[in-house]
Chain A
């Protein structure tokens, strides 16, 4: 049976020690202020340059290029990315390298000249502006006119890739929300790991474990302190920067799972570090590593597939898709589940190695 009074006493003690440590108190407040400040000084508008990916195995591609040059499209901010296959085209849209993709059939020009009505594939990103489809439609009509002398000769089959969400372009500062969330959560690794490491080094843990308090209660208390501190800060941050405006429940669940991840990482760091300096170094390393995936949200295409082995990738994905794109449970259950699996694995490893240090 859990010894709840003892757990409560430990939580109260850790919170007291946390806030008595001027360093932790300082970096906690500082990180919140800095992240909120950075958010509000970033532009609320976006760069209107549009990248269009095109897969054109026949003469259609060249015709499109000629048409765009004639229209002076590049000067207007339209950039063409020529892709080698339909799969590469879809991936470019999914990876956010292009806002839309056009798949032209190989026989586009002959079909048009023969009076046929060929079909052109239009792939749109979930967060593409509603005007994007209209703009692409106009572009395709212009292409039809250039190739056959008649407009409306081409059938357009529009397909939304990724979560089917009609939305607006997302300013960079909103894209930074996952990065802020991960970083503010990670700040607690410093606090938790240092508190634990100090207790191990001073032998205070030994004094605790000589009382009727069990190891299980000790871990519950430590986990609760870490969850409380990291989750409250992350929620406060997202609330302050307007990140809880939509799908708040999903975001809270994601942040809770993120806080659990941070707790496991904190246990691992505390077990691996031998003193305050090594704990700080290891915590910094973990912070840097876990901050990589959110950069992929901020700068699409910057981070490649390997980021998927970092658990924060799934946290960043959920915070971005739910918070910025309004994705629902149906669209984000998978990354949430993977994040939960990471939590279990990291938490188990953290408890196991930390127990060895208690012995």
Chain B
């Protein structure tokens, strides 16, 4: 039976009078990738901080691998890896020194730094100071640091933000490899396409509350509508777009009318994107 690796029960966090996280509850199964999506200031980072023991909740509790995060913080932190959005490496030290430091902090005795660097594509650069790395290299090193102690849960905060496509793809592949190893991944991202591609489930968070949580497919089925989009020749010669919603009783007649009454230039079907659903469920975009 699959157990829950992460359980959030009625979590609340306030900054003065502002409630950043407002009574949210969810669970993430072992080996699952959960995408945590929301605009800036929605409460994503605060939630991650509570889940990783960096902040103590003002209400509710978080359980990781069955341990209460607020009470058994060190035991929880020994089993999680955290990759932050902003590169917070020791830049005057080399990649090897950075990884060795965190290996010691986690009490890892058999850390194979070279193998770790190979996994993230930094082999041959391990002795260079991090200050000379590109943004993509730093991000890959951050992921390597989070993996150094072979955690059972991985928290990734915008791991591919601002990266070139090659670096971003390398990190996505690492995430999928870790999932295949049985690691649970809590992924915070703005990138809806990324979430759609690699997440088993996604949660939309807005103003401190979870607006929707399900698999991308189910969300699309529940909130999205399949449509046909056609470009037709308008009266003045300009192209105009026509949209017909599928799965409705009047759909066949509408399609017939389109072809009989309009001069169709292009036609294709389109599924609702996670972004469409996010806007629909929260009433706002991700920016």
Interface positions of A (Cβ within 8 A of B): 3, 5-6, 8-10, 13, 16-17, 20-21, 202-204, 206-214, 359
Contact = CB atoms under 8 A, between A and B. Distances in A.
Nearest to A209: B54
Contact of B78 (A17, A207, A212): A212
A210 B53 contact: yes
Contacts of A204: 88-90
B107 interface: yes
Interface in B127-149: 145
Interface string B105-134: 111000000000000000000000000000
Contacts of A208: 105
Nearest to B86: A203
Nearest to B48: A210
Given A6-B104, A9-B104, A202-B88, A210 B93 contact: no
Given A6-B107, A13-B93, 9 more contacts: A13-B97, A17-B93, A202-B89, A206-B54, A207-B82, A207-B89, A207-B102, A209-B54, A211-B102
B118 to A, nearest CB: 22
Interface of B: 52-55, 73-75, 77-78, 80, 82, 84, 86, 88-93, 97, 101-102, 104-107, 145
A359 B55 contact: yes
B90 A17 contact: yes
Contacts of B82: 207, 210
Label chain B's interface by main secondary structure. Answer: loop
A5 B107 contact: yes
Which 6 A/B pairs are nearest by Cβ-Cβ distance? Answer: A203-B88, A9-B104, A212-B74, A210-B82, A211-B105, A212-B78
A202 B107 CA distance: 24
Contacts of B92: 17, 20-21
Contacts of B102: 207, 211
Nearest to B88: A203
Given A206-B54, A207-B84, A211-B77, A5 B104 contact: yes
Contacts of B91: 202
A213 B105 contact: yes
Most chain A CB neighbours (cut-off 10 Å) among B78, B82, B105, B145: B105
A212 B105 contact: yes
Nearest to A1: B74
Nearest to B92: A20
Contacts of B75: 212
19 contacts: A5-B107, A6-B105, A8-B104, A9-B105, A13-B97, A16-B97, A17-B92, A17-B93, A203-B84, A206-B54, A207-B88, A207-B102, A208-B105, A210-B52, A210-B53, A210-B54, A211-B77, A212-B105, A214-B73
A20 B91 CA distance: 11
A338 to B, nearest CB: 37
Contacts of B86: 203
B111 to A, nearest CB: 12
B74 A214 contact: yes
A214 B54 CA distance: 10
Contacts of A20: 92-93
A327 to B, nearest CB: 44
Contacts of B104: 5-6, 8-9
A20 B88 CA distance: 18
Contacts of A359: 55
Contacts of B89: 202, 204, 207
A212 B82 CA distance: 12
A333 B185 CA distance: 59
Contacts of B145: 207
Nearest to B142: A207
Contact of A13 (B78, B90, B107): B90
A6 B74 CA distance: 13
B84 A206 contact: yes
Contacts of B80: 210
Contacts of A9: 101, 104-105
B32 to A, nearest CB: 21
Contacts of A202: 88-89, 91
B201 to A, nearest CB: 24
A144 to B, nearest CB: 76
A210 B146 CA distance: 10
A10 B90 CA distance: 12
Contacts of A3: 107
B88 A13 contact: no
Nearest to A202: B88
A317 B245 CA distance: 88
Nearest to B145: A207
Contacts of A212: 74-75, 77-78, 105-107
B155 to A, nearest CB: 8
A210 B101 contact: no
B90 A206 contact: no
A115 B55 CA distance: 88
A233 to B, nearest CB: 21
A211 B106 contact: yes
A8 B92 CA distance: 19
A113 to B, nearest CB: 84
A16 B53 contact: no
A115 to B, nearest CB: 86
A13 B97 CA distance: 9
A160 B103 CA distance: 63
Contacts of B78: 212
A316 to B, nearest CB: 35
A203 B145 CA distance: 14
Contacts of B105: 6, 9-10, 208, 211-213
A203 to B, nearest CB: 3
Contacts of B84: 203, 206-207
Contacts of A206: 54, 84, 88
